Copies of this chain bind each other. A is one copy, B any other.
């Protein structure tokens, strides 16, 4: 019982303190890449709740996913956002011009859904219909405590969303306030039906109104990708100042082919992309599709490893009700999540590419005397059936710390012991798979011990 009380006090304190942090240009969020669940890639714009009630975009789907995020252990390893995407809105605003969800599919309203996502209801009889700022007091009396999850939503800086629902153009301040009223923690702002030239003004303006609400809301922008499509060079200084994360390339689809185009884009444009990443502001190569229909187990490991190298948001878009254990284990790999969430926030780079073999490297903590530790991914893009052996001297990978590195395979947990810069490492990499190693700098003291 004491544990519960502590949680309640903490959640109450959070809502009091956090608004104080949001008056500056930075909203204080996303010190490491956000982690959570996002509906789009897997569930799309399925609004047919009559024939397909289990898979349509409805409050029930998001309630189920939030429950599973906790009960299946995803929350414990860091996934915290439950994010609605397109197709939740009614086709028109209400009589007061406010956004409103589809009444058939979200009968309880968005504030109630946010409450469901963010709080645990001990009494299963409790409905989720309360709205308003008095929630917290009500919840406290009912012994409702924080789940530790946060609630995300979707909109579009244009006249319509991509699927044709009302966009925010002409309603920026009102809609920011609506999202605060709905207790939203994360806003993804798409860019359909708007002019890319206008985005340099519009995205920061909406960010300003989000901050003006006093509620901290993470801000995901599609600003650069629409500009790149239109041949406009994005102003990443402005984008980094206004957005916590941003899309810069195509929507991901359920195929290895799609992931390969993203890998190539991030590799070929890394000189422009990598410097923009850092605490508070991240490149977003789009959702994780691990556990869906199109990736093999090896390909799934490759996606997760590269998203960690890139310091990418980890937004799973998968049916958590049916995902198989092997794939769930990839998504819950704590050692790889630790690489993704490394506090330095330095995005990794492709350092080798030849005949289908790529090597990717990311500097991470701990740092000893200006020498980084590293996460290294050996990726095999070949399809010729049998694993490829890759051998390299550690020094060739930039691993020059003279006291050496403790080396570990982050998927198999194989311990290579302490290796020096002149040692050779050899790995067998499966077709369309990868080997991911962590090289942790050894201090002279550690080396002596071993």
| Cross-chain contact A255 with B256 (CB below 8 angstroms) | yes
Q: Who on chain B is nearest to A296 by CB? A: B296
Q: Which 4 A-B pairs have the closest CB atoms?
A: A253-B383, A255-B383, A293-B431, A293-B298
A55 at the interface (CB under 8 A from B): yes
A294 at the interface (CB under 8 A from B): yes
Q: Identify whether the interface residues of A are mostly helix, strand, loop, or mixed.
A: loop
Q: Which of A38-46, A72-80, A416-424 contacts B (4 or more CB under 8 A)?
A: A38-46
| Cross-chain contact A385 with B299 (CB below 8 angstroms) | no
A interface, how many residues as a size bin?
20 to 34
Query: Among the listed B253, B257, B324, B432, which residue makes an inter-chain contact with A254, where contact means beta carbons less than 8 Å apart?
Result: B432
A314 at the interface (CB under 8 A from B): no
Query: Among the listed B294, B384, B432, which residue makes an inter-chain contact with A432, where contact means beta carbons less than 8 Å apart?
Result: B294
Binding site for B on A (CB under 8 A): 40-44, 46, 55, 253-258, 289, 292-299, 317, 324, 326, 383-386, 430-433
| Cross-chain contact A386 with B46 (CB below 8 angstroms) | yes
| Cross-chain contact B293 with A432 (CB below 8 angstroms) | yes
On chain B, the residues within 8 Å of A258 by CB distance are 383
| Complex CA–CA separation, A384 to B289 (angstroms) | 11
Query: Among the listed B254, B295, B386, which residue makes an inter-chain contact with A384, where contact means beta carbons less than 8 Å apart?
Result: B254
On chain B, the residues within 8 Å of A317 by CB distance are 385
| Cross-chain contact A383 with B298 (CB below 8 angstroms) | no
| Complex CA–CA separation, A295 to B295 (angstroms) | 7
| Cross-chain contact B383 with A254 (CB below 8 angstroms) | yes
Given contacts A257-B257, A298-B294, contact A386 B432 (CB under 8 A): no
On chain B, the residues within 8 Å of A296 by CB distance are 293-296, 299
| Complex CA–CA separation, A229 to B289 (angstroms) | 38
